[in-house]
Amino acid sequence: MLSKKRTIEAIDLMKELYPNARGELNYDTPFQYLIAVILSAQATDISVNKATPLLFEAYPTAEKLAQASLEDVMMRIKTIGLYKTKAKNIIKASQMLVETFNGEVPKTKKELESLPGVGRKTANVVAGDLFNVPSIAVDTHVERVSKRLRICKQSATVTEVEDTLMKKIPEERWVDTHHTMILFGRYQCTARNPKCEGCLLLDLCAEGQKNINIKKTNKE
């Protein structure tokens, strides 16, 4: 397992590659960011960014979306995976925002998790990005990169990955680390064919060294 010190070295190297890592979802208001993050579960940011202009044109606020018809919302987001469930969830979440939170996005993870369609990961992303609440949201990229680098155990659950990252990384770096690891996983340490040759982290990475040795052996 990678020590605390080596984990921070790994994050620093990722940061060299992606010094200005940020979320890639488009939005104008906290409400729109919450909705975009809910829609992005198991879908690409690109697919969400394509659909949200049509959605927010008709429903820019919680008050408007709370009164929307399900059919119309489904039509506007139908290019996003799981759109039927997500359409129901964003209407219900908007109704709850209006009824319970005065139409505003709540600031705590607990309150956020009380909204339909908002799990731990979405709550972490929204609380971290909108309100600077220290959080590390573990998505597929963060989990894969953490496991390949042996920052956490291969058998770790998503919650265990999050706990391990929180133990090994200083709190003030959590939000930024989440974004940096996502870009690193999306473009360098990809799910299929990670770009191990020439990777800045190769010296720290047992998985990368194994991949390179396998390639060498196959060539011989």
Q: Give the interface with ligand SF4 as residue ranges (CB under 6 A).
A: 148-149, 188-189, 194-196, 199, 201-202, 205, 207-208, 211
Measured CA to CA, the distance from residue 129 to residue 133 in angstroms comes to 8
Residue type, 138: V
- Nearer to ligand SF4 by C-beta: 115 or 199? 199
205 among the known binding-site residues?
yes
Residue number of the CB atom closest to ligand SF4 = 208
The Cα-based distances of 38 to 25, 118, 215 in angstroms read 11, 6, 40
- State in angstroms the smallest separation of the CB of 194 from ligand SF4: 4
Measured CA to CA, the distance from residue 175 to residue 134 in angstroms comes to 6
Phi, psi of 101, rounded to the nearest 5 degrees: -120, 20
196 among the known binding-site residues?
yes
- State in angstroms the smallest separation of the CB of 8 from ligand SF4: 15
In three-state secondary structure terms, 18 is coil
152 among the known binding-site residues?
no
- Nearer to ligand SF4 by C-beta: 87 or 145? 145
- State in angstroms the smallest separation of the CB of 185 from ligand SF4: 8
Catalytic residue positions, numbered = 121, 139
- Nearer to ligand SF4 by C-beta: 11 or 68? 11
Measured CA to CA, the distance from residue 207 to residue 193 in angstroms comes to 12
CB 41 within 8 A of CB 122: yes
Binding residues for [4Fe-4S] cluster, as ranges, are 189, 196, 199, 205
Binding residues, as ranges, are 189, 196, 199, 205
